[in-house]
Structure 1
Amino acid sequence: MDMAVVELSRLQFALTAMYHFLFVPLTLGLSFMLVIMETVYVMTDRPIWRDITRFWSKLFGINFVLGVATGLTMEFEFGTNWAYYSHYVGDVFGAPLAIEGLMAFFLEATFVGLMFFGWDKLTKRQHLFTTFMVALGSNLSALWILIANGWMQNPVGADFNPATMRMEVTDFMAVIFNPVAQAKFVHTVSAGYVTASVFVLGVSAWYLLRGRHVGFAKRSFAVAAAFGLASSLSVVVLGDESGYALTENQKMKLAAVEGMWETEAAPAGLSIFGIPSNDQRETAYEVKIPYVLGLISTRSLTGEVAGITPLVEGAATRIRNGLPAYAALETLKQNPKDLAARETFERHKHDLGHALLLKRFVDDPLAATSADIEKAAWSTVPNVPVLFWLFRIMAGLGFAFIAFFAFAVWMTTARRFDKRWFLRIAVLAIPLPWLAAEVGWAVAEYGRQPWAIEGVLPTFLGASSLTVGQLWTTIIGFTLLYGALAVIEVRLMLAAIRKGPECYVPWRPVPAATPRPAPARADFTAVPAE
């Protein structure tokens, strides 16, 4: 496989995925904020809460449409750009995506129309139910997609079948309740709630700064502050759970994120600063907080966090152990009934993926030298400096959001909406949760390299047989199309925000006018003739 094709395929998928995820977190968070706002309206019957719900639902709708349009593209890319990946793991990976479409997307799409057009057709409680179902559908959609992604990070409940040359499901419940998938789901949706909270808080602050729609803005500000504080705290707590999952399933990613080249004595310290070097294979000028990494990653003072160098040595061992499985698989291709080859394959099949890493450096893995094995083993190390700093940007923003929302809650409870310096910060902070979310996905996906499926399928083997020209054409096309959609979406959102909320007057049929009696005509026949 031409590595230029692989890298361009990765670039195209990264661009479309990161663009799509600009819309997902706001949809996830704003949907449940609408439920909260409309619940207050149903409980209090105050018209201003109806106006609040309708205004934010308008922004939700604009964002929702763009999220659907950009999400569809990604599913087609699995077939066009990652054909062998789709063939190899499609029986496992495709199932959660199919369920997402049937269970979540259809549910969401059905009720979203009722939410927008049912205000005059449904009772208050019925409309609240439709809003809740839209929120539920949005979050269920994220659940099934993250189950699929979590399986890529930790491929449980599936096994390779040499008869079909594909991965097949052996325990679907294990796929669903994959601990990595569950940790990713709760962490991702919490990040979406933070994104929506910052957005609502920032827009509300903009109205307060200009003295427009003050009653509307104060109430929206209060909801966003409380919801955002709870969400930001949960992001940090659930991020700790994700770190624990890395210790069990993705040790190399954790070591790279920490720039830890050698295994430290337990409990390991957490680096808050350092300058990692891939060339020198060391991290200079480290500043560490003792014990913290060990506590987060192992939940103990005695658990060990492995370093990069020992993990590379372990990868080399697995490559050597996987070579007999590769040789047996080649024999089974020619003679599927060879019992000796089947027995050898079953004994070594869990290391087959590591043996496949050699195909990047040599045509026939069975002819690999010790130098080839060492290269393949070191290829399991992602770019350490990039991951080290991306993670710290994400974590720094996460803790900053806690302080941000805590002060916003104080402003709300003290009714001190006159802190104009904070209102300006709230407006300027609107892009930050999107930055944190995109950086978080970069850590998750870039840190998994060189694997498309962790320990099973190297990324470079999953790409389609495309040309560099074809890929550049589609990359440029998507960039132009998505750029145009971004301009349209931003203009629509800004136009709706400038216009502000409208006082909603429910539609009532106008009674038909009662016809007036025709004026009496003069009866000339009754007038006597002169």
Structure 2
Amino acid sequence: MDLGVIDLSRLQFALTALYHFLFVPLTLGLSMMLVIMESVYVMTNRPIWRVITRFWGRIFAINFVLGVATGLTMEFQFGTNWSYFSHYVGDIFGAPLAIEGLMAFFLEATFVGIMFFGWGRLSKLGHLLVTAMVALGTNLSALWILIANGWMQNPVGATFNPETMRMEVTDFGAVLFNPIAQAKFVHTVSAGYVCAAVVVLGISAFWLLTDRYKGVARRSMTVAAAFGLAASLSVVVLGDESGYALTDNQKMKLAAIEAAWHTAPAPAGLTLFGVPDVAARETRYEVQIPWVLGLIATRSLDGTVTGMSELVLKAQERITSGVVAYDAVERLKTDPANVAQRARFEAHKRDLGYALLLKRHVADPRTASLALIASTAWDVVPNVPLMFWSFRIMAAIGVLMIALFGAAFVLTSLRLHTQTRWFLKLAVLAIPLPWIAIELGWMLAEIGRQPWAIEGVLPTFLAASSLTRGVLWTTIIGFTAIYGTLAVIEVRLILATIRKGPFEHDEDAYPVPDAGSAGRGAARPVAADPIPA
């Protein structure tokens, strides 16, 4: 086992996943905002809302194409870079991905074409229904992907079969209604809604600052303010629910996020600031809010948040138990009918994955000493400083988003948003912030699960394919070059679309009452409201 190959495989997947996730949130949010904007058009029959819907639809289309291209590449990596992972858990992990392709992606891709080419060919209500189907397909796609990812975080409804040496589904309903998966879905989707709302708000603010397309900008900003405020508030509420789910299912991740080295008396305080010291296994210069973490994590005043040191001791016990399961599996290979060994395995099978952690240090876990087991137990602690600071930056951005959309909602309600230039400048500057928070959230979810590819079941270092460092460096460089080019193309396309404005060649941006006034109409400033409201 070459640990360099493992690290490069992780780096390649991380780069492609982080890049892919630049497109997913905007796709999720814009699809829902298109439904809202087109609904206003259908209900009011005002032409300007048709212009608004079609413009943001073009931004959606550019983003959608890049998201599909990068998503397909990422899924293929399970077979090329993580072949043992695919073999070991493919029966469970592959099912949600297959359903996503058949149920969600085909639905989404089919109706996307109808949505863009159906203007003028479908009735207004018919086209709105098509747009709604695109939004449904987009969100269903996220649901099935996050069900698969949620199972990696909390592998319920499956068990190891010593006859096939693989994990197999025992209860697909448990996989589907996995609490971690459900919490991740609603939280991720809400974050995508915030991302899209910030983009619409920022571009609209840019137009107002430059005194262009005011009619479209004012109305777009009004939708973004209301939609973004609801979404940003829901992110906090659903993020709290996601954190509560960690208390029962991923205690080590929660402890690492809080840099809680030891179990504190209930109710635990929430650390606002601190400097995690991994060598000393303590957090220096802590600034805490009393009771808050206990209330968030346990919903009580007497529930405790278990510290990392205590969780390591539990991991040590599970490794010892897992060695018994590993021994039973090895004996069942030669004597499948051995009832005594089958009973030993059934009694300890829950901890089999913990014994596999020892394979990083010894070929046969049964030969590990007590000292090696004790030191290996600390491998279950993820990168604490990275987890600690990533969460706090993400949370700070979440608070800023609530403040931004709260101000936007008040200003649009009072019709002051076109006059408040300081706010318009802030809205433009805020465009990158949701992506930073979303990428940090992904890092929290995935790095917080380490050293596991499947929590408690399969260590990451055993999941990779037998590749060479040269092959991995070649593909990393190749992907970086290709994706960098695609990123430049997308940014240029979006900027060109914004510069061109919301009006297309078949739309009269400056209608005039008769042919005789065409010359005067052509001289109108861009800032004029081109289409009657």
TM-score (norm 1): 0.95
Q: Secondary structure at the match of 1:159?
A: strand
Pairs within 5 Å for 1:150-229: 150-229=150-229
Pairs within 5 Å for 1:107-118: 107-118=107-118
Q: After superposition, give the CA deviation of every residue in 1:420-477 in whole Å (9 maximum; x if it has no partner).
A: 1111111111011000000000011001000000001100000000000010000000
Q: Does 1:142 align with 2:133?
A: no
Q: Distance in 1 between matches of 2:21 and 2:504?
A: 32
1:336 Cα deviation from its structure 2 partner: 1.4
1:375 Cα deviation from its structure 2 partner: 1.9
1:394 Cα deviation from its structure 2 partner: 0.5
2:248 paired residue number: 248
Q: After superposition, give the CA deviation of every residue in 1:212-236 in whole Å (9 maximum; x if it has no partner).
A: 0001000000000000000000000
Aligned residue type for 1:191:
A
Aligned residue type for 2:7:
E
Pairs within 5 Å for 1:301-316: 301-316=301-316
1:408 Cα deviation from its structure 2 partner: 0.3
Aligned residue type for 1:399:
V
Aligned residue type for 1:15:
L
- Given that 1:42 and 1:124 are in contact with CA atoms closer than 8 Å, whether structure 2 keeps it comes out as yes
1:499 Cα deviation from its structure 2 partner: 0.4
- Given that 1:51 and 1:504 are in contact with CA atoms closer than 8 Å, whether structure 2 keeps it comes out as no
TM-score (norm 2): 0.94
Q: Distance in 2 between matches of 1:157 and 1:194?
A: 33
- Given that 1:158 and 1:170 are in contact with CA atoms closer than 8 Å, whether structure 2 keeps it comes out as yes
Q: Distance in 1 between matches of 2:138 and 2:123?
A: 23
- What percent identity do the matched residue pairs reach? 71
1:513 paired residue number: none
1:75 paired residue number: 75
Q: Does 1:92 align with 2:83?
A: no
2:421 paired residue number: 420
Q: Distance in 2 between matches of 1:152 and 1:36?
A: 34
Structure exhibiting the larger radius of gyration computed from Cα positions: 1
Pairs within 5 Å for 1:9-28: 9-28=9-28
Q: Secondary structure at the match of 1:268?
A: coil
Pairs within 5 Å for 1:373-452: 373-416=373-416, 417-452=418-453
Q: Which runs of 5+ in 1 are unaligned?
A: 508-530
Aligned residue type for 2:161:
N
Aligned residue type for 1:462:
A
Q: Secondary structure at the match of 2:263?
A: coil
Q: Secondary structure at the match of 1:287?
A: strand
Q: Distance in 2 between matches of 1:35 and 1:17?
A: 28
1:122 paired residue number: 122
Q: Distance in 1 between matches of 2:344 and 2:317?
A: 17
Q: Distance in 1 between matches of 2:38 and 2:61?
A: 16
Q: Distance in 1 between matches of 2:464 and 2:36?
A: 44
Q: Distance in 2 between matches of 1:166 and 1:375?
A: 28
Q: After superposition, give the CA deviation of every residue in 1:22-81 in whole Å (9 maximum; x if it has no partner).
A: 000000000000000000000000000000000000000000000000000011100000
Q: Does 1:274 align with 2:274?
A: yes
Q: Does 1:34 align with 2:34?
A: yes
Q: Secondary structure at the match of 1:272?
A: strand
2:469 paired residue number: 468
Q: After superposition, give the CA deviation of every residue in 1:59-112 in whole Å (9 maximum; x if it has no partner).
A: 000000000000000111000000000000000000000000000000001100
Aligned residue type for 2:308:
I
Aligned residue type for 2:19:
Y
1:517 paired residue number: none
1:374 Cα deviation from its structure 2 partner: 1.6
Q: After superposition, give the CA deviation of every residue in 1:237-260 in whole Å (9 maximum; x if it has no partner).
A: 000001101000000000000000
Q: After superposition, give the CA deviation of every residue in 1:273-328 in whole Å (9 maximum; x if it has no partner).
A: 00001111000010001111011111111111000100001100110011110000
2:528 paired residue number: none
1:344 paired residue number: 344
2:530 paired residue number: none
For the aligned residue pairs, the C-alpha RMSD in angstroms reads: 0.9
- Given that 1:322 and 1:351 are in contact with CA atoms closer than 8 Å, whether structure 2 keeps it comes out as yes
Aligned residue type for 1:27:
T
- Given that 1:120 and 1:506 are in contact with CA atoms closer than 8 Å, whether structure 2 keeps it comes out as no
Q: Does 1:477 align with 2:478?
A: yes
Q: Distance in 1 between matches of 2:125 and 2:507?
A: 16
Aligned residue type for 2:471:
Q
Q: Distance in 2 between matches of 1:55 and 1:504?
A: 12
Q: After superposition, give the CA deviation of every residue in 1:117-145 in whole Å (9 maximum; x if it has no partner).
A: 00011000000000000000000000000
Q: Which moved more, 1:438-447 or 1:336-345?
A: 336-345
Q: Secondary structure at the match of 2:340?
A: helix
1:503 Cα deviation from its structure 2 partner: 5.8
Aligned residue type for 1:332:
L
Q: After superposition, give the CA deviation of every residue in 1:480-512 in whole Å (9 maximum; x if it has no partner).
A: 0000000000000000000001167589xxxxx
Q: Distance in 2 between matches of 1:86 and 1:290?
A: 45
Q: Distance in 2 between matches of 1:156 and 1:39?
A: 40
Q: How many pairs were matched up?
A: 507
Aligned residue type for 2:464:
A
- Given that 1:362 and 1:372 are in contact with CA atoms closer than 8 Å, whether structure 2 keeps it comes out as no
2:105 paired residue number: 105
Q: Distance in 2 between matches of 1:473 and 1:505?
A: 47
Q: Distance in 2 between matches of 1:405 and 1:470?
A: 47
Q: Secondary structure at the match of 1:286?
A: strand
Pairs within 5 Å for 1:313-332: 313-332=313-332
2:515 paired residue number: none
Q: Distance in 2 between matches of 1:468 and 1:397?
A: 37
Q: Distance in 2 between matches of 1:450 and 1:290?
A: 31
